[in-house]
Amino acid sequence: MIPKNHPRYQSLVLRDKVKNAFMEGYLADTGMIAHGRGETFDYLIGEKTVDSAYNAIEAAVATILLAKHPVLSVNGNTTALALDEMIELANETDSPIEINLFYRTDDRVDKISQLFKDHGYNNILGSNTDDLYYFDKIKNPRATASKKGIYIADVILVPLEDGDRAELLKTAGKKIICIDLNPLSRTSQMSDISIVDNVVRAIPLMTKIAREFKNKDEVFLQNIIDNFNNEDNLKESLNSFKIMKL
């Protein structure tokens, strides 16, 4: 047990969740290393949702609400850190959730499907029983897309996505919204909307904003999207990082 008065309590709780996900067999070993990278970026951004992230979140929610077929992609790290939060966002925005793993194995997919089922979400896409399409000619397990989900999606939310997969989705003509603490990652750089924030803060905030935006008309939402520039916003995110002075 992590003592509640530990100066890094919140961070250690998340670390524990990632560790447990690995022990339970649905997170790849490199998912743990990726979490460590994220810890440092989060530390340097002050472990809070900065203004530029908030603006990206608003544009992201407006984009999802105006999309024809939005899909919320989940992998091992997202499942470990924000399973219930993803279900809430899916319900609030009427978007299906799809399993989308860089290191896809039937076992990991089954475990993640079961976890979502245990938490009340029954029809997850991208499962082993789903009708899958592959984005490339060889049946690359890294390139799966559910025929009812990512394959026909116009907008995809990818929290914590690998650069190669993000590129694949982008090449397939999808509008990409990523959540990535590294503003310089390939995923952040190639996404249409890059939310530089921790998924544990960004996803519940998206749900809250979706609840508010659902009562707004299309002009309001389109205006938010039109006023958002991802390149400028990424530059602003970069300026939020600082090495605190001694």
Residues that bind a copy of itself (CB under 8 A): 15, 18-19, 22-23, 29-30, 32-41, 44, 182-184, 231, 234-235, 238, 241, 243-246
Residue 70 contacts residue 90 (beta carbons within 8 Å): no
Consecutive H or E run containing 133: strand 132-134
Residue 144 contacts residue 100 (beta carbons within 8 Å): yes
CB closer to a copy of itself, 22 vs 54: 22
CB closer to a copy of itself, 75 vs 95: 75
Residue 104: how many CB atoms within 10 A of its CB?
Answer: 20
CB closer to a copy of itself, 29 vs 118: 29
Give me the least distance between CB of 18 and a copy of itself, in Å please.
7
Give the separation between CA 242 and CA 7, rounded to whole angstroms.
20
Give me the least distance between CB of 36 and a copy of itself, in Å please.
2
CB closer to a copy of itself, 19 vs 208: 19
Give me the least distance between CB of 235 and a copy of itself, in Å please.
5
Give me the least distance between CB of 97 and a copy of itself, in Å please.
26
Give the separation between CA 187 and CA 98, rounded to whole angstroms.
18
Give me the least distance between CB of 222 and a copy of itself, in Å please.
27
The amino acid occupying position 109 is: V
Give me the least distance between CB of 19 and a copy of itself, in Å please.
5
* Beta bridge partners of residue 97, listed in sequence order: 72
Give the separation between CA 53 and CA 49, rounded to whole angstroms.
6
HSE of 228, CA atoms in CB hemisphere, 13 A: 26
Angle at 134 between CA 128 and CA 138, to 5 degrees: 115
CB closer to a copy of itself, 127 vs 237: 237
CB closer to a copy of itself, 138 vs 246: 246
